[in-house]
Structure 1
Amino acid sequence: MTRRLAIGIDIGGTKVAGGVVDESGTITHRARRDTPHRSTSPSVVEDTIVDCVDELRTAVDPADIVAVGIGAAGFVAEDRATVLFAPHLSWRREPLRRQLAGRIPWPVIVENDANAAAWAERTFGVARDESHVVVITLGTGIGGALIIDGQVQRGRFGTAGEFGHMQVVPGGVRCECGNRGCWEQYASGNALVREARAMIGAGSPVVADLVGRLGGDVAALTGPVITEAAREGDPTARELIAEIGDWLGVGMANLAAAFDPGLFVVGGGVSAAGELLLGPAREAFRRQLPGRGYRPEARIERARLGPEAGLIGAAELARSGR
């Protein structure tokens, strides 16, 4: 019996991760490459994708492969073929599917990476039984995706779900998108590190333990370092994580007003803080929710599939043709 396998490729700022995914969402074989530097020409990134696919096709019977899905961190047009803009790569209106068509012998779809991760959680993860889902990915910034009536909502031009760039503080912190006060400037890995460095720069004694973890090298401070410290009981790290959680809850209350989901799924690297993040987020959500006390509240849960959700979802979207 022929298996209906699909290849998923997840393109991030630092790595290109690939996998052969079966119909149960299990990754049977993996490949990984470093992401070419952002100044590299688009063709080099495409070479990297093809290289991953070529490695994976040798690991299985190619006759079992039915499609290839590519998840890209950036704006993907409604045709699911063109990357309009990718902040970490040199893709600008790049006709990616066309460029790969002669080099990959299966149908190819291109998808926003957050949409792909959301579909993985909807199909195989924590959102399997929910028809209306908002997915928030907390990493360096904030990515997002929206599922309504069990379908990914991409928007008229393909760029829906960029929740990280909602303005939550008029005239606030400058964002890489060019605006000020975007949500991701207050509820992301970058925000977590910025606040910790501000405390260190101010000479606050409460960050002494955190600085000690770094051996005095403040440049080595990262979100995972703060998260690890918080999980090990460092009170200042826990306070910083809780502040991110507060802002997360505020933004989700705004999204609940707009979309009324039954479930928020929180993924990405910052979600490793678990309840240290989600507890404050739930409290802030309840405080800020319009009509609180008189309406059902969406659940807020941590994503289940981890960092491989993007490639699993890209593969499943390609296989199913959704």
Structure 2
Amino acid sequence: MTDARDFSRRSVLADLLRNRPTSRKAIAARTGLSAATVSRTVDALVVEGVIHEASEIVSENRGRRAVQLDVVAERSLVVGIDLGASNTRIVIGDFAAEPLQRAELPTPSSLNPARLGEWLADIVGAMVEDDPRDLGAVAIGLPGAVSEARTVSNAPNLVQVESAEFVEALERRLGLEVRLDNDANYALLGEQRMGAAAGTPAAAMVTIGAGLGAALAIDGRIIHGKHGLVGEFGQLPIGPFGARLEHMVTGPGIIRRAAESGVTIDAPEELFTDPSLFALRAQFDHALQIVLTAISVSSEPEVIVLGGGIAESLASDLQRYQSALEANLRIAPRLVPARLGEFSGAMGAVIDAVRTLYRELGVDEGDLDDLPVASPPADLPAIA
């Protein structure tokens, strides 16, 4: 009997989360459960404070009326964090993954691991301290490879996150365990659920800024390796004397290569506006084509989303890059800019945090791939 009730609970909750708002009758029709079973399960979830009966009454066949059901979005708060070497972006969301508040601030990269974790926890605490809702889950995207064992490697631009002291201090201050993943993985998750890759199960993400990140998704799921090295194409030794690919396309790499060529530039964006830097731009284009080709042949995505500070300078060149891919591979993915802009990673972290709450309620792992169902934020960077 317990197994049957658990199955009914999982089925009803997953269906409601996927089709909210909805009615008892509609849930029964989609799940195949009896009307009585659905009604009992819904009543139990209402008592738990997971779902509520909306006040709106809708008409059904022959004048029958039914109450709409929806999740209690105010049930708890979640926090999604994108911790970068230069900037940190934070989004506070609700139980339905709707963004409520955001913050963007410089990362104090000079702090030691423990102090960096405490600083981040204090920022989160200040953002939620006046909200009466419980903080249910926190997820953070990091600029490095995150293993199944929650260790971090390959984070040269913010090496503090490789120390266990960073996460320990963060969790101790917050009072709960945080979810960890690579920042590019979270950026792709955000773009797949709410952005430029929505409705595209086979997709990839490239983030280019202070570092180079890549993420791959097949059948709607982000690919994670045991050591978190999937998508670390920046480690490829393609440059002179084995220079890593990352050093050819990132902001610090562009400035360094310009200096090595006897040219001084104040910002990497000058590479895309100064015609005198043609030779350096050609090297950049070649390196980026290697990244895009490696992604295309490794996972065959339908679309590759480009995000990050450097990627913003490439919007007018995406068709040129795509044409070069098509000339080389014959069949190539579409190249599109990130829909969520600089907050792709933080929104992806919000989604993962919300999924943590759904798991705790008993939703099956297989039902999480297309959850949560939230409307794309039209102007996320403008949220106050």
Cα-Cα RMSD: 2.8
Structure-2 separation of matches of 1:148 and 1:312: 20
Q: CA deviation at 1:107?
A: 4.6
Pairing partner for 1:18 from 76, 85, 90: 90
Structure-2 separation of matches of 1:27 and 1:245: 36
* Pair 1:288-2:328 in alignment: yes
Structure-1 separation of matches of 2:328 and 2:238: 13
TM score, norm. by length of structure 2: 0.65
Residue 300 of structure 1 corresponds to 335
Structure-2 separation of matches of 1:105 and 1:94: 16
What SS is found at the alignment partner of 2:82? strand
Maintained 8 Å contact 1:97/1:109: no
Decide which moves more: 131-140 or 3-12.
3-12
Return the letter of the residue paired with 1:144. A
Q: CA deviation at 1:17?
A: 2.6
Residue 266 of structure 2 corresponds to 221
Seen in structure 2, the aligned counterparts of structure 1 residues 83 and 182 have a Cα distance that, compared at 3 Å, is closer
Maintained 8 Å contact 2:147/2:225: no
Any stretches of 5+ residues in structure 2 without a counterpart?
1-71, 357-367, 369-384
Q: CA deviation at 1:44?
A: 0.1
Please give the residue correspondences for 1:158-307 in structure 2 after superposition, counting only pairs within 5 Å.
158-169=228-239, 172-173=240-241, 180-197=242-259, 201=263, 218=264, 221-227=266-272, 230=273, 234-236=274-276, 241=281, 243-289=283-329, 292=330, 296-307=331-342
Maintained 8 Å contact 1:18/1:31: yes
Decide which moves more: 131-140 or 92-101.
92-101
* Pair 1:49-2:120 in alignment: yes
Return the letter of the residue paired with 1:28. L
Structure-2 separation of matches of 1:151 and 1:27: 22
Any stretches of 5+ residues in structure 1 without a counterpart?
174-179, 202-217
Equivalent pairs, count? 284
Higher helix share: 2
Return the letter of the residue paired with 2:93. V
What SS is found at the alignment partner of 1:89? helix
Q: CA deviation at 1:319?
A: 1.2
Maintained 8 Å contact 2:201/2:219: yes
When Rg is computed on C-alpha atoms for both structures, the one with the higher figure is 2
- For residues 184-242 of structure 1, the C-alpha deviation after alignment (integer angstroms, 9 at most, x for no partner) is 233333444345445554xxxxxxxxxxxxxxxx3x52113444xx2xxx534677556
Maintained 8 Å contact 1:6/1:318: yes
Residue 207 of structure 1 corresponds to none
Return the letter of the residue paired with 1:75. A
- For residues 237-269 of structure 1, the C-alpha deviation after alignment (integer angstroms, 9 at most, x for no partner) is 677556533432233123222211111111111
Name the % identity. 27
Pairing partner for 1:66 from 132, 136, 150: 136
- For residues 281-304 of structure 1, the C-alpha deviation after alignment (integer angstroms, 9 at most, x for no partner) is 223322332xx2xxx421111111
Pairing partner for 1:90 from 140, 151, 160: 160
Seen in structure 2, the aligned counterparts of structure 1 residues 32 and 47 have a Cα distance that, compared at 3 Å, is farther
TM score, norm. by length of structure 1: 0.77
Seen in structure 2, the aligned counterparts of structure 1 residues 127 and 49 have a Cα distance that, compared at 3 Å, is same
Pairing partner for 1:134 from 182, 204, 208: 204
Decide which moves more: 151-160 or 86-95.
86-95
Structure-2 separation of matches of 1:124 and 1:308: 11
Seen in structure 2, the aligned counterparts of structure 1 residues 283 and 240 have a Cα distance that, compared at 3 Å, is farther
